[in-house]
């Protein structure tokens, strides 16, 4: 690969706190290496449409602490087609882009692979609140989203405790339970439902509420990953089986907004730096990831095949936090 002179940067898929920090890091690292950086607005669709903005050192000032993405984001059906991708390649040719940094999740990286096959080198930076990208143990935005959900659930707990109620809270995560399980542990949930584990409603929800009640609790917190079911259905089943009236809350998109926290700003800055570094050192066509604390570069095709599993010891830890009640009731 010859020395790269101009690259593009885009954000794609669901936004995540820290995407702006990653854009800033990409632009500033590029400029520090004598590379120009062009912002592509609205993800892959923007690349198809030639929707761009020049980016300078100043234009990415004051975004480090801001949630969302200044480049806007989108999910593009047209980019899934060959003709759409050809249009995207033509935009790259027209703008003289010799590489693209794509910030997003797995869907974004599948697009990256297709574009790289058409001769445009791409480097992916994983950013999604779902933390469900196989090649990295951490995705930008996850920690902030966990903290946002925890703050909301702590508030719910105050009112549930006062009224001695059961709360059923649905959190995001798409098909993964990372967000639900981490949050469930951090709020001391009575039960957590995740898509990675088959649900036995009687054991996993009903008996856990009963045990908690027998241990002296008068309010209960059930956390449901959106991929494991709908909170309203869970609430109805609890009502039917236990004769109590749970209050149901779907946290929804509130989990995606807000200022990125320290971990997300710092990780985004490091990942953005190493993404550009991959071009500077003549590589590209990889995804940046974190593994055991360090930054790694994995070829896109290989990265897309990698699987990450929810750590089931965390599930057992969440369950163990209720064992006091279980001993009292003689269930164990």
Among 172, 234, 303, 318, binds ligand F6P (CB under 6 A): 172
Residue 195 beta carbon to ligand F6P: minimum distance, rounded to whole angstroms: 11
Residue 176 beta carbon to ligand F6P: minimum distance, rounded to whole angstroms: 8
Cβ-proximal residues to 63 (8 Å cutoff; 6+ apart), any chain:
20, 21, 23, 24, 70
Is residue 289 close enough to count as binding ligand F6P by CB under 6 A?
no
Q: Which stretch binds ligand F6P (CB under 6 A): 18-26, 32-40, 171-179, 306-314?
A: 171-179
Distance CA 186, CA 191 (A): 12
H helix or E strand, kind and range, residue 256: none
H helix or E strand, kind and range, residue 51: none
Is residue 14 close enough to count as binding ligand F6P by CB under 6 A?
yes
Sign of CA dihedral 254, 259, 262, 263: positive
Distance CA 221, CA 184 (A): 9
Q: Scanning residues 110 to 169, which ones bind ligand F6P (CB under 6 A)?
A: 128-130
Q: Which is nearer to ligand F6P, 73 or 278 (CB)?
A: 73
**Does residue 219 contact residue 165 with C-beta atoms inside 8 Å?**
yes
Is residue 73 close enough to count as binding ligand F6P by CB under 6 A?
no
Q: Scanning residues 226 to 255, which ones bind ligand F6P (CB under 6 A)?
A: 226
- For the annotated catalytic residues, the residue numbers are 130
Among 18, 173, 284, 325, binds ligand F6P (CB under 6 A): 173
Q: Which is nearer to ligand F6P, 114 or 130 (CB)?
A: 130
Cβ-proximal residues to 120 (8 Å cutoff; 6+ apart), any chain:
88, 89, 92, 97, 99, 100
Is residue 42 close enough to count as binding ligand F6P by CB under 6 A?
no
Residues that bind ligand F6P (CB under 6 A): 14, 105, 128-130, 172-174, 226, 256
């Amino acid at each position: 690969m010859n020395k790269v002179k101009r690259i593009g940067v885009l954000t794609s898929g669901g936004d995540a706190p820290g995407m702006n920090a990653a854009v800033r890091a990409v632009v500033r690292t590029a400029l520090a290496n004598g590379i120009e950086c062009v912002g592509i607005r609205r993800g892959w669709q923007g690349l198809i449409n030639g929707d761009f903005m020049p980016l300078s050192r100043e234009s990415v000032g004051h975004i480090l602490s801001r949630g969302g993405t200044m480049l806007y984001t989108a999910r593009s059906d047209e980019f899934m087609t060959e003709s759409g991708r050809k249009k995207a390649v033509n935009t790259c040719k027209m703008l003289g882009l010799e590489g693209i940094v794509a910030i997003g999740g797995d869907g974004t990286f599948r697009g990256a692979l297709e574009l790289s096959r058409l001769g445009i080198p791409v480097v992916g930076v994983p950013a999604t609140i779902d933390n469900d990208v196989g090649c990295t143990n951490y995705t930008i935005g996850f920690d902030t989203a966990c903290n946002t959900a925890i703050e909301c659930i702590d508030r719910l707990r105050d009112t549930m405790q006062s009224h001695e109620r059961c709360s059923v809270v649905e959190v995001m995560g798409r098909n993964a339970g990372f967000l639900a399980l981490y949050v469930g542990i951090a709020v001391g949930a009575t039960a957590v439902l995740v898509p990675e584990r088959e649900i036995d409603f009687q054991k996993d929800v009903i008996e856990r509420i009963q045990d908690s009640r027998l241990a002296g609790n008068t309010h209960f917190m059930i956390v449901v990953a959106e991929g494991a079911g709908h909170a309203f259905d869970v609430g109805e089943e609890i009502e039917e089986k236990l004769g109590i009236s749970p209050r149901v809350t779907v946290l929804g998109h509130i989990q995606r907004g807000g200022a990125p926290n320290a971990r997300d700003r710092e990780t985004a800055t490091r990942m953005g730096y190493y993404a550009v570094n991959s071009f500077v050192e003549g590589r590209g066509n990889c995804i940046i990831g974190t593994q055991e604390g360090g930054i790694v570069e994995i070829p896109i095709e290989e990265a897309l095949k990698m699987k990450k599993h929810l750590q089931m010891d965390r599930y057992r830890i969440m369950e163990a936090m209720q064992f006091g009640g279980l001993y009292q009731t003689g269930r164990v």
